[in-house]
Amino acid sequence: MDFLRPASWEEALAAKAAHPTAVPIAGGTDVMVEINFDHRRPEYLLDLNRIGELGDWEVGEESVRLGASVPYTAIMDHLRGELPGLALASHTVASPQIRNRGGVGGNLGTASPAGDAHPALLAAGAEVEAESVRGSRLIPIDDFYTGVKRNALAPDELIRAVHIKKAAGPQQYSKVGTRNAMVIAVCAFGLALHPDTRTVRTGIGSAAPTPVRARAAEDFLNAALEEGGFWDNGKIITPSVAKQFAELCSGACNPIDDVRGTASYRRHAVGVMARRTLTWTWESYRGTDGTAQQKGRVA
């Protein structure tokens, strides 16, 4: 196994072009586990740790450009206001040690359906900045996940950053695991209200071959909110609306039975999380001037 250590982004792109099978490594919290257990033995490892800019983020007018290697800890500490859903998701990632090393770029690169960031990215709306020696492109998050642990990157492309829409309304994130910390998701759910566009977006993790949105549930809720004038009158969402939204979210799942949980439980739990996160976000929206005040206090 060769270890490639580019000193700059351009060198990294050149290396990836020369060795398309090279596996990029930054925090190493996923890749190193695979290597240690001999589950995977890539021909080349492409170490991105010398490229400082990957650890930077910029807060723009519309979105946050989050460098691929920004650790989860930094998202929790610095971007809670702009990216509340992703900050909550970051909090559920493994342990403090792992959160100090791992970042969203790795989650996207691996594209595991159990990756904690995905439901938050799907709900917020995001674009993945992919680049190769051929040029740069922005891949909408909705098109990014193409199969179990597969993504839309070309073999010569690297993830440089993720552009995530800044929260215009409340966002929530819930994850079920069979332990109260340091656990891989049995299933997860992200929800973002977008009062600026009068839409809601969802994200479901670990309950289908890829992270998915519950589009039918979103369409139903968008219509129900619009029809009742809820965005303006700030009325309480009726239990029947919440219930149907939850059922549609369950219906968006295509889960399996495995050692972490049954398919039936996953569908059930996604429904419960959908209903609860809808209540939390909507209560937050109507209880305030529309800013994204989060109800769940996290340390």
Partner 1 sequence: MTTDTTAATATGTRGPVTASAPVGTPTKVTQGAGTKGGIGESTLRPDGTLKVTGEFAYSSDMWHEDMLWGQILRSPVAHARILSIDTGEALATPGVYAVLTYDDLPTAVKNYGLEIQDTPVLAHGRVRHHGEPVAIVAADHPETARRAAAKIKVEYRELPVVTDEASATAPGAPLLHEDRDDHHIGHVSHPNIVHRQPIVRGDVEAARRRADHIVEGEYTFGMQDQAFLGPESGLAVPAEDGGVDLYVATQWLHSDLRQIAPVLGLPEDKVRMTLSGVGGAFGGREDLSMQIHACLLALRTGKPVKIVYNRFESFFGHVHRHPAKLHYEHGATKDGKLTHMKCRIVLDGGAYASASPAVVGNAASLAVGPYVLEDVDIEAIALYSNNPPCGAMRGFGAVQACFAYEAQMDKLADAVGMDRVEFRQLNAMSQGTLMPTGQRVDSPAPVAELLRRVKAMPMPPEQQWLAAGEQADVRQLPGGLSNTTHGEGVVRGVGYAVGIKNVGFSEGFDDYSTARVRMEVVGGEPVATVHTAMAEVGQGGVTVHAQIARTELGVAQVTIQPADTQVGSAGSTSASRQTYVTGGAVKNACELVREQVLEIGRRRFGTYHPAWATAELLLEGGKVVTDGGEVLADLVDVLEDEAVEVEEEWRHRPTEAFDLRTGQGNGHVQYSFAAHRAVVEVDTELGLVKVVELACAQDVGKALNPLSVIGQIQGGTTQGLGIAVMEEIIVDPKTAKVRNPSFTDYLIPTILDTPTIPVDVLELADDHAPYGLRGIGEAPTLSSTPAVLAAIRNATGLDLNRTPVRPEHLTNQS
Which residues of the chain form contacts with partner 1 (CB under 8 A)? 36-38, 88, 91-92, 172-184, 186, 259-262, 264-265, 268-269, 272-273, 276, 279-280, 295-299
How near is the Cβ of 250 to partner 1 at its closest, in Å? 11
How near is the Cβ of 107 to partner 1 at its closest, in Å? 16
**Nearer Cβ to partner 1 (168/184):** 184
CA-to-CA distance for 181 and 179, rounded, in angstroms? 6
176, 286 in Cβ contact below 8 A?
Answer: no
The four Cα atoms 23, 147, 187, 293 give a dihedral, to 10 degrees, of 80
Beta strands across the sheet bearing 126-132: 57-59, 63-67, 158-165, 126-132, 135-140
**Nearer Cβ to partner 1 (268/286):** 268
**Nearer Cβ to partner 1 (183/216):** 183
- Helix (H) / strand (E) containing 150: strand 150-151
- Helix (H) / strand (E) containing 184: none
**Nearer Cβ to partner 1 (63/172):** 172
How near is the Cβ of 234 to partner 1 at its closest, in Å? 20
How near is the Cβ of 182 to partner 1 at its closest, in Å? 5
**Nearer Cβ to partner 1 (63/174):** 174
Quick one: which of 237, 224, 97, 86 has its CA closest to 163? 86
How near is the Cβ of 241 to partner 1 at its closest, in Å? 17
Burial of 275 (0-12, 13-18, 19+ CB in 10 A): buried
Neighbours of 178 (CB within 10 A): 9
**Nearer Cβ to partner 1 (8/264):** 264
How near is the Cβ of 192 to partner 1 at its closest, in Å? 14
How near is the Cβ of 191 to partner 1 at its closest, in Å? 12
**Nearer Cβ to partner 1 (176/217):** 176
Quick one: which of 266, 224, 264 has its CA closest to 243? 224
- What residues form DSSP beta bridges with 162? 66, 128
Quick one: which of 9, 91, 133 has its CA closest to 299? 91
How near is the Cβ of 183 to partner 1 at its closest, in Å? 7
Tokens 């409340």 belong to which residue?
170
31, 25 in Cβ contact below 8 A?
Answer: yes
Quick one: which of 255, 249, 215, 248 has its CA closest to 114? 255
110, 150 in Cβ contact below 8 A?
Answer: no
**Nearer Cβ to partner 1 (17/184):** 184
